[in-house]
Structure 1
Amino acid sequence: MAPLLGGVPHGAALVGPGSEVLAFDTGRSADHGWGPRVLVFVAEGDVAEVEARVAGGLPGRFGGFPTVFSYRGAERRGVEVWEWGAWLRGRLGFDPREGVSALDWLSVPWQRLAEVTQGEVFHDDLGELTGVREVLKWYPDDVWRYVLACQWRRIAQEEPFPGRCGEVGDERGSAVAGARLVREVMRLVLLLRRRYPPYGKWLGSALARVPGSAELAEALGAALGARSWREREAGLSLAYSRAAALQNRLMLAERLDEGVRAFHDRPFMVIGGDRFARALLGSVADPVVRALPVAGCVDQVVDSVEVLDDPVVARAVTAAALGRAAAA
């Protein structure tokens, strides 16, 4: 690429959508929209010139692969030329170089934060790629505590359901409730490990890369494979306790008992996720974050792909969920 740019200051990286950005690609990934790709970032005044150079000078093949390939029914050039701010606003809904508010942090899906902060950087003589990735590599501590608290709250809201469904003979409903909780624990542990959880297809793959996840995976596997609600509850209980122990080791909030207990006077064992949520929220110092309702980031508010794939809609939904406090 460098000869085509003729000395124009630029950044070049493999970021944005695509399983290869997060290193989850396999041979199967090559069956659609596949080819050598790179995004080139230049100043706004250089975009047209560099695009023309790329269009006129890009070889038809590179490394044995075509450099123009079909993607969703349209032809796509593997080299995309962007002004950095325009690309950031299109992917995130804001430009982090202008500052990052609490609403900014909470309105961007985890998948997109991962797509910007991971992937390989090949060149960056402008320094902007490196600077933005450094800013976005992880939440500020108080935002992190808030998101973790909201994740524990999601567990608290449903943790007695597998037992309650099983008690009335609804093992199918218990299995569904249990699987939902498995997903929430997986996301919680990734967040505790300072990893942005990817979207559903790669959630298990991401957890498998986390150091020390084998025992947790065993507990979650037992919950998913259980044939009775009591077995399911046992697997979930072990997973909850391991997540609680991890949080205690990180010293993000006051240390809490890691054991499960009865759900009030009912015979269902729960960790009491609200205990951990309250402890985390109590350790938040930022007044803006402290004022937020316990709703969470956009991934915790909504599952709709139509929302998560549109930064404008994602921001509006998040702002509505957080209310007036989000504007602070």
Structure 2
Amino acid sequence: MDTGIALARAYHREVVGPLLSREVPRLPHAAGRLGSGSDVLGFDDATSRDHDWGLRLTLLVDDADADLVPYLDDLLERELPDRFRGHPVRFAMTWDERARHKVSVATVPAFARDRLGIAFDPADSAGWLMLTGQAVLEVIAGPVFADTTTALGPLRAALRHYPAEVERYVLAAGWHRLARLPLHARAAATGQPLHARRLAGTLAEDVMRQAFRLCRAWAPYDKWFERAFQRLPIAAELTGPLTTVLHSVDPRVREDALVTAVRVLLARQRDLGLPTPPDGVGPFFERASRAVRPEVPAALLDGLTDPLLRRLPPEIGAIDQWLDNPWLLARPEARAAFAAAYEQWLRRA
């Protein structure tokens, strides 16, 4: 059974690519399997075929050739065959009920804005905070089969990971979330076992998300979160402790496992050469429970020169660190509202 990427590669090689070479031989363009879909991440299976799966490609041109986008779309609709390798070329999608070809044609900047929700500028630290992992993966994760544009390669390279100071800021915000560790022990000690286990699960997710950041990888949306997590170089060290956190009924055992996971993260941060205290875990006041020391996020924030990052509350971070509504996070058009929220925080700084 062909994967979506294998099918898209053959579709481009045997049909779309030759058509473009014949009709627009001198047009700089890029073609790949980008955008949404489990196959972009390489995770599609037989179940994935029940919706929005099939002969899909992304065709991009530089901004200078924007006027050719409608022509290329019409050309493909007119010239493409009805089927390829037994699959229909024209079919409906959940967001587009028209039975048309599914080669998405756009300029590189328009495609980036459609996926990211912003006009991306690598020098704009506020823009970086608007990005979600899934949005970025829709630009950088899928394969590009051909590229003679000037814009797509630099865009994908720039999006690989945060700039240095933005990275330190979002890591610090991640440590602030993990500073809730003592609440787990307190909930258990005050007769709230269900809530204590819920907090343990939330902290386990925070560990996993911080692991993505420390491995300089983007996290996909929930369906493929663990599959992508298992690709991280520290996943093997974290899987055992996190499994204990989620399965143990003993709150002390859960706390020990969370502390073990936190120490794995601290070691990774130290290995990256980022400022990290010698021991980032200590007692929570005079209680038996433990906490992430406040020096951990403070060390990352110390010395930041970016004026926006210095003024933003250190606990905020990127949008997916303070907002967990999947409906909102999945909508690039909501980025303007998120940007307005950051502007309000800056006014209060």
Q: TM-score, normalised by structure 1?
A: 0.92
Does residue 296 (structure 1) correspond to residue 317 (structure 2)? The answer is yes
SS at match of 2:321: helix
Does residue 51 (structure 1) correspond to residue 70 (structure 2)? The answer is no
The CA deviation at 1:76 is 5.5
Closer/same/farther in 2, CA of residues 160 and 324 from structure 1, 3 Å limit = closer
2:114 matched residue in structure 1: 90
1:229 matched residue in structure 2: 251
1:207 matched residue in structure 2: 229
Q: How do 1:7-22 and structure 2 match up within 5 A?
A: 7=25, 8-22=27-41
Counterpart residue identity of residue 80, structure 1: S
Q: Percent identity?
A: 34
Q: How do 1:175-194 and structure 2 match up within 5 A?
A: 175-194=197-216
The CA deviation at 1:285 is 3.1
1:281 matched residue in structure 2: 301
CA distance in 2, matches of 1:129, 1:78: 20
Does residue 3 (structure 1) correspond to residue 25 (structure 2)? The answer is no
CA distance in 1, matches of 2:235, 2:339: 31
1:63 matched residue in structure 2: 85
Does residue 32 (structure 1) correspond to residue 51 (structure 2)? The answer is yes
CA distance in 2, matches of 1:292, 1:205: 33
Cα RMSD of the aligned pairs, angstroms, is: 1.9
Equivalent pairs counted in the alignment come to: 322
Please list the CA deviations of residues 54-83 of structure 1 after superposition, one character each: whole Å capped at 9, or x if unmatched. Answer: 001112222332222332272453211112
1:103 matched residue in structure 2: 126
The CA deviation at 1:210 is 1.1
CA distance in 2, matches of 1:139, 1:315: 20
Counterpart residue identity of residue 41, structure 2: L
SS at match of 2:335: helix
SS at match of 1:264: coil
1:264 matched residue in structure 2: 285
The CA deviation at 1:31 is 1.7
Closer/same/farther in 2, CA of residues 281 and 322 from structure 1, 3 Å limit = farther
Q: Which moved more, 1:137-146 or 1:76-85?
A: 76-85
CA distance in 2, matches of 1:315, 1:301: 16
Q: 1:128 aligns with which of 145, 151, 157?
A: 151
Please list the CA deviations of residues 211-262 of structure 1 after superposition, one character each: whole Å capped at 9, or x if unmatched. Answer: 242121111111011112112111111111111111111121144314x332
SS at match of 2:290: strand
2:8 matched residue in structure 1: none
Counterpart residue identity of residue 17, structure 2: A
Asked if structure 1 preserves the Cα contact closer than 8 Å seen for 2:116 and 2:131, the reply is yes
Asked if structure 2 preserves the Cα contact closer than 8 Å seen for 1:149 and 1:280, the reply is yes
2:13 matched residue in structure 1: none
Asked if structure 2 preserves the Cα contact closer than 8 Å seen for 1:293 and 1:322, the reply is no
For structure 1, the residue ranges without an aligned partner over 5 or more in a row are none
CA distance in 2, matches of 1:234, 1:318: 38
For structure 2, the residue ranges without an aligned partner over 5 or more in a row are 1-15
CA distance in 2, matches of 1:269, 1:128: 49
CA distance in 2, matches of 1:160, 1:41: 50
Q: 1:220 aligns with which of 227, 237, 242?
A: 242
The CA deviation at 1:17 is 1.1
CA distance in 2, matches of 1:3, 1:249: 48
SS at match of 1:306: helix
Asked if structure 2 preserves the Cα contact closer than 8 Å seen for 1:142 and 1:284, the reply is yes
The CA deviation at 1:324 is 6.0
Counterpart residue identity of residue 38, structure 2: S
The CA deviation at 1:100 is 4.0
Asked if structure 2 preserves the Cα contact closer than 8 Å seen for 1:38 and 1:80, the reply is yes
Asked if structure 2 preserves the Cα contact closer than 8 Å seen for 1:10 and 1:125, the reply is yes
Q: 1:139 aligns with which of 133, 158, 162?
A: 162
